[in-house]
Structures are given as C-alpha cells and as structure tokens.
Amino acid sequence: MAVLEVDDVSVTFGGLAALIGVDVVAEAGAVTGLIGPNGAGKTTLFNVICGLQRAKRGHVVLDGRDVTGARTFNRARRGLARTFQRLEVFGSLTTRENLLVAAEMQRNGRDPHAVAQEILSEVGLTEYADVHVDSIPTGLARLVELGRALATDPKVLLLDEPSSGLDEAETDAFGELLLRLAERGLAVLLVEHDVELVMRVCSQIYVLDFGEIIASGSPDEIRRSAAVQTAYLGSPLSANGSGR
C-alpha cells in the first residue's frame, strides 16, 4: 500500500528547473531507493516532501491525505520523519537524551523513556546511551539521528545518505536494520550514493538525473538500464550491484 505519493512535482529556482514532473511512490513494508548523480535534485525532492521547499506544480500525498500545502510540523504529526545529508544531532546531549527529545513529541501515549530504551537496542546504541553525541564517531552519530527519527513513531521515513561515515561492517548492519524496519510496516525512502547498499535493500528504485526520473523499477531492471549507465558517467553497475 502506498503511504507516500509524489505526483508530478516540479521546482524551479529562478530560471533553473530543479525538478521536472517527478513521480515517486513509497509503500508500507518496503525500502524504496532514490539514486542519481550529485546535483540531480534528490535533496530538493526530500525538501518538497517535508514542506521545506514549495513546489511550482504537483502534489504530495501522505497516508491518503494531500499535504501539499501543509506545514512541516503537520506533516510530521501525520507520520513523516527525516534524516539529513548534513548530520543534524544535539551534540551536547547524550544519545538517550537525543532520542527522548523526539519520543516526548510522539502522540501514541507510550512512555518516552521506554521508547528511547527500545530504540537504543534496536539501532545498536545501548552502550552509548549516556555518552554525549559530540564525542562518538560520525557513523554512530548517524544512527543517533536515525533513532531520533524512529522515536517519533513515523509511518514514512526519509533517509538522506544515512550510510555516510559508516565502515563496511557498519553499512552491512545498517542494511539489515533497514530491512527489519520495513518488515514491521514502515515505508522507507532512501537517498544513498552507496549503490551496492541500495541494490541489496530496495525493492523499488527511482533514478533522478537533472531533475527528472529517467528510470524506475526493480534492482535488476535498474542494473540493465542504459539511461542509468549514462547517468553514472558510463561506469557500469556490476552484477552484485556495486558502482558509482
């Protein structure tokens, strides 16, 4: 079931078209990928979905309701959560406190401390619970940001390059975490430059280039797409999905 629908979204900055008629769907229980070269418009699309950027044309539908004109906080209340390409955490707070900030804003009536403890375990940060975030490695801080988003009890989770700063083992574990989140019914929309990770965890992938969706489909269909090969400067995606 589609929980997030982006329909015919276009954005212009002055005379520059940043997005042109973009359609994207994210379904509950699945990880959906959004890939493309730098400057393709991926973060701009996330900003439109969250309400940080107004679209010139098009609609955003969240959980069956058109939220195109809704404010950012109203979209969050309807179940939208996001992480950012540039790490955004409260460095002077502990990991637990970062999660509590979000858990105390949830509207499902659960004890925020219980929610924070559950998420600490789920994302693998229990041993860092009482450590200030500005003293832990960037890769772990990324997990803090993810955990804080999960603490809001979202229906749709937007992740903007979440594996940045993770080593190979951490990236593998992160991929497994994404699959577990999807299994419990969450809709995940993933922007990521690690194409191997995208190919491994996503059931549907959209490829954005110069503001337009040039291909969409399963990982196998994306690997075979000539348009995708061209967008990635002729660097072929290997059989196991790796490539840049």
Would you state the structure tokens that stand for residue 217, as one six-digit string? Answer: 């489909």
Tell me the C-alpha distance between 131 and 102, whole Å: 17
Q: Please tell me the total number of residues recorded for the chain in this structure.
A: 244
Would you state the structure tokens that stand for residue 160, as one six-digit string? Answer: 């903007």
pTM given for the model: 0.90
Q: pLDDT per residue over 99-129, tens digit each? A: 999 998 877 788 999 999 999 999 999 999 9
Considering only CA atoms, which of 77, 74, 120 is closest in space to residue 97?
A: 120
Give helix 112-123 / helix 138-150 axis angle, nearest 10°: 140
pLDDT tens, per residue, the chain with 244 residues: 899 999 999 999 988 999 999 999 999 999 999 999 989 999 999 999 999 999 999 999 999 999 999 999 999 999 999 998 877 888 899 999 999 999 988 777 889 999 999 999 999 999 999 999 999 988 899 999 999 999 999 999 999 999 888 889 989 999 999 999 999 999 999 999 999 999 999 999 999 999 999 999 999 999 999 989 887 745 555 544 444 3
How does DSSP classify residue 238? P
Q: pLDDT per residue over 187-213, tens digit each? A: 999 999 999 999 999 999 999 999 999
pLDDT at 236: 53
Alpha helices (H) in 106-150, listed in sequence order: 112-123, 138-150
User: Rounded to the nearest 5 degrees, what angle is found at the Cα of 122, between the Cα atoms of 101 and 169?
Assistant: 115
26 SS3 class = strand
